[in-house]
Each structure stands twice: as C-alpha cells, then as structure tokens.
C-alpha cells in the first residue's frame, strides 16, 4: 500500500495568508507592509486590528472568487508532478464551517492527485456551536483511527501534538514566517517525503 500523507490546506497547499495579505492587508492596516513580517499567526495583534475584524476579512477572502483563482503552492505542485503518484493524499484542514465548501471546490480544481479523503476541524467563530466536532487535528486522527506516514502542517503546536501522539507519523513543519521552519523556505521540496527526485 502506498504511504499516506496528511496535508494541511491553508498555508501549505493553498497559500492563504500570503494571498489574503496581498489582497487585503494594506487596506486594513499599515503596520505590516510585507508578508514575511507576519511573524505571528493569527497576526491581528502585530497588525493592530481586532481578532474579530481579522477573522471577518480572512473568511470573506476564503469565500471569494479571487481566492478560487489562487494557484497551488508551486513547490508542492512540482513535488506532486514528480512524486505524487507514489503516495496517498488526505487533506485535513482547520477552517470555519462556512468556508469548507470553498476549500473543497479549490481542491477539485487545483490538486492533481486523487484524494484518499478530506477532513476538517472547525475553526471557532463567535456565536457558532461546535459541539459534536473534533477539537484538534490530533483528535481527528485518533478519532478516525488514521495512521498517516507523513503529516505536514505550518502550525508548530499541531505538529508537536501529532508528533507526541501514538501515530508514528513523520511530522513536517511547513515553512511560514510564523514558525521555526521559515529558514528552510528556499528548500521546501527537500523537506517533503522523499525529497524532490
């Protein structure tokens, strides 16, 4: 059986924060002028805006036609072209419920390999009732009995939780300005399973 990769969606496959910042960041604040300055995620405090305002802007962008036009991260696109067929691919995202369909639509148009599945952990928003859903990606993997060979995410807390779990997965922290892997941003393909052959 082919090894299973569990991919994060936002900021791994889909360059959400960079695209959102390019389209919306300069319009809503003036403290941060370049994507690489976003050293915290969520970035509302360093941007000088409220968390609610940030979430509203980000979620509106997630559901926009503009977001549907964004291309798959080119490093991953190149890796998939060469290595993708050797693996099974599962997408596990943390997004608000009202943005899940937009993510699935984007994947259908941009992810070249067949998917073994798609799962989500709903990101909390004011006034939403989320009982009955998994609370973290670690909970999702355990609850669904998933044993991925590789787990790729840009969130260091998530990576640490999965690494400490009983999954045995190789965890890969995907480079982003808000994590310690950012120094490897020029070498992304070498971080992925098997490297770029």
Give domain limits for the chain: 4-15+72-191, 17-68
* pTM of the predicted model as reported, rounded to 2 decimal places: 0.94
Q: Give the distance, in angstroms, between the CA of residue 153 and the centroid of all CA atoms in the same chain.
A: 6
Instruction: Report pLDDT digits (tens) over 60-89.
Output: 999 999 999 999 998 899 999 999 999 999
Structure tokens at 104: 């699935």
Instruction: Report pLDDT digits (tens) over 159-173.
Output: 999 999 866 899 999
Instruction: Report pLDDT digits (tens) over 96-153.
Output: 999 999 999 999 999 989 999 999 999 978 777 778 899 999 999 999 999 999 999 9
- Write down the H helix ranges in 42-90: 44-47, 51-62, 65-68, 74-83
* Second CATH level (architecture) for the domain 4-15+72-191: 3-Layer(aba) Sandwich (3.40)
C-alpha dihedral, 181 to 186 to 190 to 193, nearest 10°: 60
Q: Which residues pair with 106 in a beta bridge?
A: none
Structure tokens at 125: 């928003």
Gyration radius from the chain CA atoms? 16
Give me the pLDDT at residue 195, please: 65
């Amino acid at each position: 059986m082919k090894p299973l990769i569990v991919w994060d969606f936002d900021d791994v496959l889909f360059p959400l924060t960079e695209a959102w910042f390019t389209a919306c960041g300069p319009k809503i604040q003036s403290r941060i002028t370049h994507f690489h300055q976003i050293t915290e995620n969520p970035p509302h405090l360093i941007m000088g805006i409220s968390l609610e305002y940030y979430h509203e802007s980000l979620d509106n962008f997630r559901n926009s036609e503009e977001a549907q036009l964004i291309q798959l991260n080119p490093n991953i696109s190149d890796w998939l072209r060469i290595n993708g067929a050797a693996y099974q691919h599962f997408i596990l995202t943390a997004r608000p419920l009202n943005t899940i369909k937009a993510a699935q639509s984007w994947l259908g148009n941009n992810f070249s390999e067949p998917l073994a599945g798609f799962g989500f952990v709903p990101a909390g928003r004011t006034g939403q009732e989320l009982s009955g859903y998994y609370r973290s990606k670690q909970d999702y993997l355990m609850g669904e009995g998933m044993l991925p060979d590789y787990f790729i995410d840009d969130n260091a807390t998530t990576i640490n939780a999965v690494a400490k779990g009983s999954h045995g997965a190789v965890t890969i922290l995907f480079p982003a300005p808000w994590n310690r892997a950012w120094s490897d941003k020029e070498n992304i393909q070498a971080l992925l399973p098997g490297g770029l052959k």
